[in-house]
Structure formats: C-alpha cells, structure tokens
C-alpha cells in the first residue's frame, strides 16, 4: 500500500523539511506539537496537527494520534524517538509503516559498544576502548568519555588527566541518562588532531546498498557540529572509495534499510581512519549530500519504507560541486557558546545570494530553554568550495534577523577565515583559529549605523505625528540645541545628536551631513557624509535592530533620564543562562579555589559548569537542586 498520509514524530525545522518533500510526493502530513510549539511554522504547514499532552517522547500517545489521524506511516526525523528501537517496533505492531531502518538495526547501532563489536567483525578499524575505568591507563590519556547510547555530543567529556576521570564519568552518566534514559558510558582513545568524516548510506528491502559520498563535520564545539560540508577538502578519490566500501560492508552486515550514516575519525597526519558509530536516522547535515548528488534523502526514505527498490546502483551516483551547511544557534560565542533565550524580533533570510534555508522559526518566535538551541540550517552550493563558502557568508551577512544573541557573526568569521578556506578544518579548529565572536565593525561604522537608527526613529516620529506633521523634524523659528538619542551597544553608550537644515537635510553635532532618500516602516535609505546606507530596521519596545553591510547590530534605546539602578549582591555568582540546577558542588562555609566547580546547570539538554573566579569562601547558597533559574539569578555568594 502506498503511503498517503504521514505522521511526523518531531518538531521544528526537520518537521518543515519532511513536510516539503512529502507534499511534493502528494503525501498528506500530520504534525504533533506541545504548548511551546503551538505557534511554530511547521504546525501551520501540516495538513493536520494534534496537540500532545506532555512531550515528544511519549511513544504511546504519538502512536495513538497516528491511528486516530489515519496515518499510513511515521517519520521520526532526528533526535527524540528517531533511534528508539522500541518505538519503531510499536509503530509496526500498530500496522503503521516505519520510515527508517529495522528495529534490530537501530538496537544494534544505538548501542555504541555493540556497534563497535559488529564493526570489528566486518573488519572495519576501530579505536582502542574500554568500559572499565580501571583500565583507562591501557588506552592512554587524553581519553574521551562517551555515552553508550544516543549522540549529538551529549554524554561526552574529554579527560586529559587521571585525576579528572571520575568526575567526568559522573557528569557524562548524568547527561546520558537525562538525554537517552541510559547512563552507560565507555572510554575511548582521543585523537586531538583529527577530522570527523561520515559516509551517507542508503539501503532498500531488496538488499541494495549504496553510499552517497562523504561529509566532513570536524568543526564542533562541545562535540556538537557547527559547520558541515561535502565533499571533504581532505578526502581524495581513493580514500572516498576505501571509506565507502567500509561503510557498505558494515551496512550489509546489518541488512540496512533506509538512510543512515557511518561515522569515522581520521588522523590528520597519517590519514588512518577508525569507525566511530552508525546513526540510524536522517542526519542534521543531510542537505549537503542532497546538494552535491541531486538525491532527495527524505523522498528516498519514504520510497524505501513503501517497499520500493533503489533506482540506481553505485556507478550511477555522480558528485558535482561543493556544498556547505552552517547551524544557526541561539547562543553566545563570546560566552563559551552558552545557549541563550529570548525573542527574535526579526527573521528575514536574504533572497540574494540564493541559498537554502531549512528553518523552523520566524519573526516573533520565542526561543526557550525547552529544546535544542538550533534556529536554522543554512546551506550553500557552488561549483567550487571557495564559491560555496563566500556565497554562504554573504547570505548570512545580507539577512536581517536578531533581537537576541546568535552565532551568525561567528559563522561568517569561520567561513571567511584563511584557515577554513585553505581546508584546515580539523576537530581542534575552534580552539586553534582566532575568530570574531561578534560583528566586525570599526568604531566609525558603529557610530554611522547608530545614526542610521536615530534617523529612522525621527522618520517614524514624523510619520506618526498628529500635529504639524508637514513641518520638518525639530523645526523652530529660534535657535535650539540638537535633537539627541542615546543607545546602548554592547554595554557602551552611543550619543547621536542632529538637527534639520532648511533644505530638508540634517547635520550632526560633529558636522556629518545626512540626506534621507527613502524611509518606510522597516527601511531607510540615507547618505552620511557621501556614504550611502540602505538598511532594514526593526523596532520592538526599546530594541532597535539595524542591518549593516556585515549583518545586524542591536541598539538598546536608553531613557533620557537614568533610573535607579538595582543593587547587586556583592560577591554573588550568577547563572550565565536560564537552566535547571542539577548539582550544587559546595556547602555554606566551603573553602574554594579558582576554577572549582560550584554549581552545575542543565540548559537545552546540555550541562554547564559555574566555576569559581578566584579563591574564597562560600558565605551563602541561594538556590536548591532541581530549581529552575533565569539568566542572571544569583546562585551562590563568595567572600
């Protein structure tokens, strides 16, 4: 029976992505959502939508919704229940098609220890590892502690010294149990100068298996991927063939069906590679493979689930050009990539240059700590790698979005860096390469764009004037001082002063001439001392988002008169982001040393340590374990 109605057991951008391909095949889509996602775009894009009582992990309720909606099949996307063998079995037992590999394959590959054993039987090289912490010395430091179940960087810790192993295991176990319901971890040799290369595979129920080339995903922070690309700048034809054959050999052992990824770690010096794991699902970075092969992986998944045979073999697959994907996150690169929450007051992807945006948010979306901080994926294609990188950087710069911290400017800095363009993209890239965490503007450029914002506001005020609206802004028959507005930009006060001239132009207090050519509610075209600025502008409350030639800057409009400042607790250490207190490592009266972990917070499914900035003594603890805290909440007081 052909799939006519598909339930998507996921949310956000991947739900939107699946809907796009399913609709193109004439398949009706059913969405599920929680209260937090009630206004998300994917809910409106679906043909039917059902509200969940609690979470996206409620397998029983999701299957009940699939039955009630008349869905023929369930697509799990990635994350949540996508690699849950029990869920796959339950879907099939309910008489509904499962879009993914068999429950047996998921079970075997979902356990990294079992996966390694299978890889060894298939003669695929693996890294030295052990499940016994007492045997850590046999591997040698540095060591990587890894969760036996799940992925996405959760439950992973690098340990450089034996004295840190116990705490790293404890933390990894806690994160793994919270993320996957399985606290088991193991130890593996850590290769510092390496590359993360993965091979995309496709298999059908008729025994046909092919690979669609490699993706490089080496640029990571906290073991989570930031930039992905295909092909890899270091993989040649011979290496692609060897790794592809190893991936197919392992997939054949599994009798693998659907899309999947075999991941390898490659030593930068020797080019030796080792098996890491198999992801039995669609990967976040799948679009770059689609761009260079022309194969829609979601459509292939649906056809395979329908029992169709692959229409091509390995010799039919061609690779053309280069594709790069970046993950746009709600996070602060300047603050150790900590996730942030807030409202996107604008989100307008650039139409030029033309790139692919896989998004699950829109202007007005509120980003909470309930889910992963990824906002969107942006994917470029070019005939060459340099063309793809430059196109992607320009598309990010030309887009108008913000209202809260994102890693957009950091991504642009990566793509424009000499190291990236040279292909030196090893896993230590972020630690090794000096990058800009924020937009790179000169002081004069910042002042000029603040002037752009000030003149847009004066235009808005004139547009909304009820009295003497035909009279120029600030007009007087006497000599009055300049009009002025104050902004806060990155904790620095900017004072912009201007006054109108008889010809309709303006002049600033430092003699810059301003000529406004066009103005509307979201745009201004202005000349400042013979330089033309054409900027999109968004205002919400006291936040003014001004688009520059390198991205957006957020200006906070300051009141004309200072308000009384809040009194800060002396010696108080505050939460760097909203989160849940999962562990308090100190007691009142504890003596601490600089760098000691004081409190551990969990936010967006990851753990974050709050450390002592100096030696001292704990005089107060103001939070409790399990408490949900906001950004800036005082946690402990240190003398």
Choose among 80, 72, 69, 67: nearest CA to 15.
Answer: 80
Q: What is the DSSP letter of 334?
A: G
> Are 507 and 514 in contact, with CB atoms under 8 Å apart?
yes
Residue range 95-143, pLDDT digits in tens: 999 999 999 999 988 887 888 888 988 889 888 888 888 888 888 888 8
Cα(406)–Cα(376) distance, rounded to whole angstroms?
A: 11
- Binned at pLDDT 50, 70 and 90, residue 267 comes out as very high
Choose among 234, 222, 146: nearest CA to 195.
Answer: 234
Residue range 69-104, pLDDT digits in tens: 999 999 999 989 999 999 999 999 999 999 999 999
- Tokens at 325, concatenated: 């994907």
Which sequence positions are flagged as catalytic? 281
pTM value > 0.75: yes
pLDDT of residue 566: 47
What is the residue-averaged pLDDT of the chain? 90
Rounded average pLDDT over 57-64: 97
- Tokens at 357, concatenated: 């945006």
Contacts of 533 (CB under 8 A, 6+ apart): 448, 449, 452, 524, 525, 526, 527
CATH 3.30.700.30 fits 443-557, yes or no: yes
How big, in percent rounded to 5, are the helix, strand and coil portions of the chain?
A: 30, 35, 40
Give the count of beta carbons closer than 10 Å to the beta carbon of residue 388.
26
Residue 478 scores a pLDDT above 50: no
Q: Helices 385-398 & 408-416, crossing angle to 10 degrees?
A: 150
Strands (E), 71-172: 73-75, 97-98, 129-130, 143-147, 157-159
Residue 479 scores a pLDDT above 60: no
Cα(468)–Cα(451) distance, rounded to whole angstroms?
A: 24
Residue range 219-256, pLDDT digits in tens: 998 878 999 999 999 999 999 999 999 999 999 999 99
Residue range 284-329, pLDDT digits in tens: 999 999 999 999 999 999 999 999 999 999 999 999 999 999 999 9
Cα(29)–Cα(25) distance, rounded to whole angstroms?
A: 11
Domain ranges within the chain, ordered by starting residue: 5-99, 128-189, 194-432, 443-557, 572-638
Residue range 401-420, pLDDT digits in tens: 999 999 999 999 999 999 99
Residue 448 scores a pLDDT above 50: yes
pLDDT of residue 471: 54
Residue 567 scores a pLDDT above 60: no
Strands (E), 290-444: 322-329, 331-332, 338-339, 342-343, 346-348, 356-359, 366-367, 374-382, 400-402
Strands (E), 501-575: 506-508, 513-520, 523-528, 531-540, 543-548, 551-557, 572-574
Q: What is the DSSP letter of 83?
A: T
Residue 215 scores a pLDDT above 90: yes
CATH code of the domain made up of 194-432: 3.30.470.20
Rounded average pLDDT over 267-272: 91
Residue range 510-558, pLDDT digits in tens: 899 999 999 999 999 999 999 999 999 999 999 999 999 999 999 999 9
pLDDT of residue 175: 80
- Of 162 and 471, which is predicted with more confidence? 162
Residue range 490-507, pLDDT digits in tens: 999 999 999 999 898 999
> Are 29 and 46 in contact, with CB atoms under 8 Å apart?
yes
Fold exhibited by the domain 572-638:
OB fold (Dihydrolipoamide Acetyltransferase, E2P) (2.40.50)
Domain 128-189 CATH superfamily: ATP-grasp fold, A domain (3.30.1490.20)
Cα(89)–Cα(108) distance, rounded to whole angstroms?
A: 14
CATH architecture, range 5-99: 3-Layer(aba) Sandwich (3.40)
- Binned at pLDDT 50, 70 and 90, residue 43 comes out as very high
> Are 600 and 171 in contact, with CB atoms under 8 Å apart?
yes
- Tokens at 329, concatenated: 């996150």
SS3 169: helix
């Amino acid at each position: 029976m052909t799939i006519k109605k598909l339930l998507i057991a996921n949310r956000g951008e991947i739900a939107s992505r699946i809907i796009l391909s399913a609709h193109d095949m004439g398949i009706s889509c059913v969405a599920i959502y929680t209260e937090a996602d009630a206004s998300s775009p994917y809910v409106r894009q679906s043909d039917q939508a059902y509200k969940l009582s609690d979470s996206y992990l409620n397998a029983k309720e999701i299957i009940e919704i699939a039955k009630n909606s008349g869905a023929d099949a369930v697509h799990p996307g990635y994350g949540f229940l996508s690699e849950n063998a029990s869920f796959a079995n339950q879907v099939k037992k309910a008489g509904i098609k499962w879009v993914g590999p068999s429950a047996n394959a998921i079970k075997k590959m979902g356990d990294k220890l079992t996966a390694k054993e299978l890889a060894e039987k298939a003669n695929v090289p693996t890294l030295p590892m052990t499940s016994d912490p007492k045997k850590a010395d046999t591997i040698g430091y540095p060591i990587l502690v890894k969760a036996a179940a799940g992925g996405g960087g959760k439950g992973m810790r690098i340990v450089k010294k034996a004295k840190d192993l116990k705490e790293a295991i404890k933390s990894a176990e806690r994160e793994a149990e919270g993320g996957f319901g399985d606290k088991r971890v193991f130890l593996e040799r850590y290769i510092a100068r390496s590359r993360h290369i993965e091979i995309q595979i496709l298999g059908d129920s008729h025994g046909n298996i092919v690979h669609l080339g490699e993706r490089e995903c080496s640029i990571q922070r906290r073991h989570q991927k930031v930039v992905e690309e295909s092909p890899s700048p270091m993989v040649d034809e011979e290496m692609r063939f060897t790794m592809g054959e190893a991936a197919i050999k392992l997939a054949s052992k599994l009798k693998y069906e659907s899309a999947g990824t075999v991941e390898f770690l490659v030593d930068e010096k020797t080019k030796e590679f080792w098996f890491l794991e198999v992801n039995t699902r669609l990967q976040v970075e799948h679009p770059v493979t689609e761009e260079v092969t022309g194969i829609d992986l979601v459509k292939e998944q649906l056809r395979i689930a329908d029992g169709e045979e692959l229409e091509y073999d390995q010799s039919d697959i061609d690779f053309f050009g280069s594709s790069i994907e970046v993950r746009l996150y709600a996070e602060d690169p300047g603050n150790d990539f900590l996730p942030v929450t807030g409202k996107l007051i604008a989100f307008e992807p650039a139409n030029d240059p033309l790139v692919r945006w896989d998004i699950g948010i829109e202007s007005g979306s509120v980003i909470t700590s309930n889910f992963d901080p990824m906002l969107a994926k942006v994917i470029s294609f070019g005939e060459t790698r340099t063309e793809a990188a430059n196109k992607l950087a320009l598309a990010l710069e030309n887009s108008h979005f913000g209202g809260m911290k994102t890693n957009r400017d950091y991504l642009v800095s990566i793509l424009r860096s000499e190291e990236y363009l040279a292909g030196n993209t090893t896993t230590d890239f972020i630690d090794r390469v000096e990058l800009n965490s924020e937009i790179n503007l000169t002081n004069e450029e910042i002042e000029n764009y603040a002037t752009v914002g000030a003149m847009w506001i004066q235009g808005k005020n004139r547009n909304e004037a009820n009295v003497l609206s035909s009279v120029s802004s600030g007009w007087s028959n006497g000599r009055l001082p300049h009009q002025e507005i104050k902004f806060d930009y990155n904790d620095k006060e900017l004072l912009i002063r201007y006054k109108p001239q008889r010809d309709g132009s303006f002049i600033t207090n430092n003699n810059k001439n301003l000529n406004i050519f066009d103005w509307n509610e979201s745009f201004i075209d202005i000349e400042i001392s013979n330089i033309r600025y054409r900027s999109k502008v968004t205002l919400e409350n006291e936040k003014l988002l001004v688009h520059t030639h390198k991205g957006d800057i957020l200006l906070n409009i300051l009141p004309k008169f200072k308000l009384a400042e809040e009194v800060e607790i002396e010696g108080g250490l505050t939460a760097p982001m909203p989160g849940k207190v999962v562990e308090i490592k100190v007691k009142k009266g504890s003596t601490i040393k600089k760098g000691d972990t004081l409190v551990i917070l969990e936010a967006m499914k990851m753990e974050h340590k709050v450390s002592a900035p100096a030696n001292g003594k704990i005089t107060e603890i103001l939070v409790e374990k399990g408490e949900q805290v906001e950004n800036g909440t005082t946690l402990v007081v240190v003398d």
